[in-house]
Amino acid sequence: MVEDFLRRGWLRFPFDRILARWCAHALPAARRAVTDPAHTQWLDCEGTWFIGVDALDNDETGRVGDGPELAGQAVEFITRHLGMLPLHRGQVSVTYPGYPRPRRGEGAAAFRYRRDRGAAHVDGLKPAGPDRRRHVDEPHGWILGLPLTEAPPEAAPLILWEGSHHILGPALARAMVGHPPEDWHRVDVTDTYQAARREVFETCPTVRLHARPGEAYLLHRHCLHGVAPWEEDAVAGPDGRMIVYFRPQLPGGTADWVSLL
């Protein structure tokens, strides 16, 4: 199983009763996060995407209120092969019918990229400044997706480019050559990243990743991924397509993010 993860850059875990109990307990808290007036800034794309960064009220074990710690097959795999990390407050990512619409301040080219390429990205390389330059400023260890609601496969599923971590990881490591590891978080990787991303689009197959509550998927930290559009005939409940993501940061920072498998 670990060989598959390292080769493909992702894994999907089957239904797990332990995880399903966690999801059932977390769902009311996620609903509260979506409607919390303090989180109104997270509703974007003309009301079709709730970004929900750090919106779930969980502790470092994933426990929400008096509920269970996050556990099950996916957590066991992470603990054994990647190393479990203290969890941040989970991202509550929700899409609704009509996604995508333009984000606030998003230009025509950026919206086309969102619509046509799923806004494909590698987590932790956010564009910043007037020139939108990228650095490894959020060195996540891995990405764990936990669906909380039932939604059809056509309802804005996560998409990924299988094997993309084999292109992006080495490319970003080469960008660090000649710089001391303590300065790697300051290295501008924009051009390297964009060139590697173009190679991924040309050579890596696209996977649409759908899962139900109680199932889970795990992505390699260097995996290029995004969100597909919500197809017109897809029908989901009033909660939309709701997924909690955990992306804890590596204790060794950017040096670990670049160097680890």
Domains identified in the chain and CATH numbers: 2-251 (2.60.120)
- Taking only the tens place, the pLDDT of each residue in 87-105 is 999 999 999 999 999 999 9
Q: Write the CB contacts of 173 (distance below 8 Å, at least 6 apart in sequence).
A: 258, 259
- Taking only the tens place, the pLDDT of each residue in 103-120 is 999 999 999 999 999 999
Kindly indicate the confidence band of residue 214, based on its pLDDT and cuts at 50, 70 and 90: very high
Mean pLDDT taken over the chain? 97
The DSSP secondary structure of 172-212, one letter per residue, reads HHHHTTTS-GGGGGGS--HHHHHHHHHHHHHHSPEEEE---
Kindly indicate the confidence band of residue 47, based on its pLDDT and cuts at 50, 70 and 90: very high
The pTM score is 0.97
pLDDT at position 126 is 85
In terms of C-beta density within 10 A (0-12 exposed, 13-18 middle, 19 or more buried), how is residue 234 classed? Answer: middle
Length of the chain: 261
Mean pLDDT of 164-176: 98
pLDDT at position 241 is 98
The percent of residues in the chain predicted with pLDDT above 70, rounded, is 100
Does residue 16 carry a pLDDT above 90?
Answer: yes
